Amino acid sequence: MFKDLFSLQGRVALVTGGSRGIGKMITAGFLSQGAAKVYITARKAGPCEATAKELTAEYGGECVALPIDISNLTGIEMLATEIKKREPKLDILVNNAGAAWGADFDEFPESGWDKVMNLNVKTPFFLTKALAAPLRAAATAEKPAKVINIASIDGIFVNPMETYSYAASKSGLIHLTRRMAVRLIRDHIVVSAIAPGPFQSDMNKAARDNADEVSKRVPSGRIGTDEDMAGAAIYLASRAGDYVVGATIAVDGGIVYANPGIKGEGWD
């Protein structure tokens, strides 16, 4: 009964922003658990194709690069068209592509607001909508399709860094996850979210470049590893997470619960 609880054998997934950082961690995790094919997107073709080649060589499944800018509706529709052209069914969608912007309150620009809100909130909604047909085609009551949104602990507690649009976007994505979950569960599509804390990535330069220093401020005493992020995503994507509807899981070593307000330095 529990033998294949975390297996992704034969499943087809799409991970946006999958060429590096958290997206790459999740992609590798899916392939390690038997996913047949994982499509990854990124704006830059070179790194996207390099990651796809690397992960295909390392694991049994196939990683396919689709370098498309999905920060606007044109790119979103282009990606959805590519997926639907190649696959009749999509088992898993991970909305991971994101952006951040920091500036003093009195100087925060509209461009920094719009760029972040568009990619972090608008794109997950409209990409999920554009891929609803292949997700519904894959979904059954016994084996639901999955949508996993990558939020942030900055959407749960107040980070002291002045990243206004980023914090608002990630909080919005967490609530959007709940709203989408209520609607899509009717179609046997389970929507959930992960709120990462400090992981090594280009977006989290503090964790990437000063892991030892950041680790001192994490209750667990360390920053997150590839296995930590992959494990949470595999759980939600597999049979193990079928009954986790609308929830956001903080994968942060305990930061949120140890730091409920403005305290210390930013994590994400």
Which amino acid, one-letter code, is at 266? G
Q: Which residues contact 143 (CB under 8 A, 6 or more apart)?
A: 239
Q: Name the strands in the sheet holding 189-196, side by side, starting at the edge strand that comes first in the sequence.
A: 62-66, 37-41, 12-15, 92-95, 145-150, 189-196, 248-251
**Tokens 């990651």 label which residue?**
51
Query: Can you tell me the distance from the alpha carbon of 188 to that of 55, in angstroms, rounded to the nearest whole number?
Result: 30
Closest CA to 63 of 84, 86, 38: 38
Q: What is the DSSP letter of 118?
A: I
Tell me the two tokens of residue 190: 């389970």
Q: Which residues are catalytic?
A: 166
Which amino acid, one-letter code, is at 179? R
What's the CA angle centered on 15, arms 112 and 198, to 5 degrees?
A: 60
Distance (Å) of CA 173 to CA 57, 179, 191: 34, 10, 12
